[in-house]
Amino acid sequence: MRAMRAETFSGYQGLKLIELPKPAVTDGKVLVRITAAGVTPLDHTILSGKFHGSKAPLVLGNEGAGVVEERGGTDFPVGSRVMFFGAYGAFEDGTYSEWVAVRKEDLCLIPDNVDDVSAAGIPVAYLTAQVALTLAGFRAGKTVLAPAIGGSIGNAVTQLARALGAKHVMSSTTNHAKAEQAKALGFNEVIDTSLEKLGDGVRRITDGYGADIVIDGIGGEVLSEALGVLALGGSLTTLGYSASRNTTIDVINLIVPQASIRGLNMFAQPKAAITNAWKVIVSLLKSGAIKPIVAKAFPLAEAAAALRYLVEGRPFGRVVLTI
Ligand SMILES: NC(=O)c1ccc[n+]([C@@H]2O[C@H](COP(=O)([O-])OP(=O)(O)OC[C@H]3O[C@@H](n4cnc5c(N)ncnc54)[C@H](OP(=O)(O)O)[C@@H]3O)[C@@H](O)[C@H]2O)c1
C-alpha cells in the first residue's frame, strides 16, 4: 500500500511516499481503507523533531476517515464509513496511508450528512474542543473565549460552545481578511487583533464581564493577554502553542479573580471522556448545529505542501489529504 512516511524527523524533506505491506489485523482491531486524513500541527511538530514520544520512521497522520473492510462486527459493519483519532501517526503508523488497522474503541460512525473529507478533519479538533469544554465546567449561559477562529481548535470550540448555548463565544484572528471571512460565515464575536487588542475586544463584547472559560491553543502573548480577561472564578485551559511555548504571565490576573490555569493532553484522556464527547459531537453534526470547515484538500503525494500550507499559510479551516 502507498504511505507517506517520515523517514527522519528533519522537516519536509524527511517525508517520502513509499510502499508498505497492508497492516495485519490483530484482535480488537478493524481494517479501515482510508479515504481522507486530517493534517494537524502535531504532524508538523513530529516531522520537525519536536515531539517527545515519536520514533522515526513513522507514517504520519493522527486522524482520518475511511471505510470498514474487515472485522468491524455488528457495530461497524463492512462498508460503513468511520472516523477516528488515537495513537496513530504519533506512537504508531498513522493515516497518511491507504489502510490502517484501527482499535475498535477509537472508531465513530460518520453521520450520513458529513462527507469523508470533512469527517477526516473532525476527530482531533472536535474531540479536543469538547473534552476541554467539559473539563472546564462549560454549561449553557457561560462566556467562552477560544482564540484563532480559522484554526481547528478555535473554530471547533466556537462552534460547539455556540451550539450548546453559551452566552458569548468569542474568538480572534491576527488577519483582517480572516476577520471579514469569519463575519461572512456568521461568526459574529471575532476580535480582529490587527485593529483591537484581544483583552479590549473581550471587555467590549461582554460589557466588562470577561470570559468564564478560555481554551487556548496559541500560547505566547495570546495566552498572557487572555489570562487578563478571566471573569471571577474563570479558567484558562492551555493545550497548544501555535505561536509559542513560552510566555510571561501577570499573576495578578489569576489572584484577583481567583482564576485557574490548567493543561490538556488528549493522549491522556480516559476512554469515557472520548465516548461522551463523541455522543455530543455526533448529535450536533446530525442536526447541522456544527459544520466542519475544510480550507483545502491535497492528494497524499503532496503531504509536504499540505503541511506547509497549514503552518505557513494559516488558512481558515482544515487541511485534508485525500488518499
Ligand atoms: N493538547 C492536545 O491534546 C492538543 C490537541 C489538539 C491540538 N493541540 C495543539 O493546539 C494548537 C492549535 O492547533 P490548531 O489545530 O487549532 O492549529 P491551526 O489550525 O494550525 O491554527 C492555528 C492558528 O493560530 C494562529 N496563529 C498562528 N501563529 C500565531 C501567532 N504567532 N500569534 C497569534 N496567532 C497565531 C493562526 O490564526 P490567525 O492567522 O487567524 O491569527 C492560526 O490559524 C497546536 O499547537 C496543536 O498541536 C493540542
Q: How far is the CA of 102 from the centre of ligand 1 (A)?
A: 27
pTM: 0.98
Give alpha helix (H) positions in the chain.
Answer: 41-47, 116-120, 123-135, 152-163, 176-184, 198-205, 220-227, 252-255, 271-287, 303-313
The residue whose CA has the least distance to atom 37 of ligand 1 is 148
Task: List all residues 6 or more positions away from 274 whose beta carbon is below 8 Å from its beta carbon.
Answer: 127, 131
Q: Would strands 143-145 and 99-103 be described as parallel, antiparallel, or unpaired? A: unpaired
Q: Which residue's alpha carbon is at the smallest distance from atom 8 of ligand 1? A: 240
| Residue located nearest, by CA, to atom 38 of ligand 1 | 173
Going from the Cα of 31 to the center of ligand 1, the distance in angstroms, rounded, reads: 31
25 CA distance to ligand 1 middle (Å): 34
CA of 295 to the centre of ligand 1 (A): 15
Residue 41, C-alpha cell as written in the block = 500541527
Peptide bond into 299 cis (omega under 30): no
Counting atoms of ligand 1 from 1, which one is nearest the CA of 222?
33
> Which residue is closest in CA terms to ligand 1's atom 20?
151
Distance 217 CA to ligand 1 centre (A): 5
| Residue 53, number of CB atoms within 10 A of its CB | 9
Nearest atom in ligand 1 to the alpha carbon of residue 239 is 1
Alpha-carbon distance of 48 to 42, in angstroms, equals 10
DSSP, collapsed to helix, strand or coil, labels residue 233 as strand
**Contact 130 CB / ligand 1 (< 6 Å):** no
Report which of 199, 200, 203, 193 is spatially closest to residue 224, judged by C-alpha positions.
199
Residue 263 CB–ligand 1 contact under 6 Å = no
* Rounded CA separation 241/44 (Å): 12
Q: How far is the CA of 1 from the centre of ligand 1 (A)?
A: 32
**187 touches ligand 1 (CB under 6 Å):** no
Atom of ligand 1 nearest to the CA of 156: 16
Q: Which three cell numbers stand for residue 295?
A: 480550507
Question: Is residue 222 in contact with ligand 1, taking CB distance under 6 Å?
Answer: yes
Phi, psi angle pair for 57, to nearest 5°: -75, 150
Q: Residue 238's pLDDT is what? A: 98
161 phi, psi to nearest 5 deg: -65, -40
Please identify which residue in the block is written with the cell numbers 482510508.
34
Beta carbons within 8 Å of 50's beta carbon, 6+ residues apart: none
Give me the residues of the chain with pLDDT under 50, please: none
Q: Is 40 touching ligand 1 by the criterion CB < 6 Å?
A: yes
Residue with cell 515531539: 51
Cα–ligand 1 centroid distance for 45 (angstroms): 12
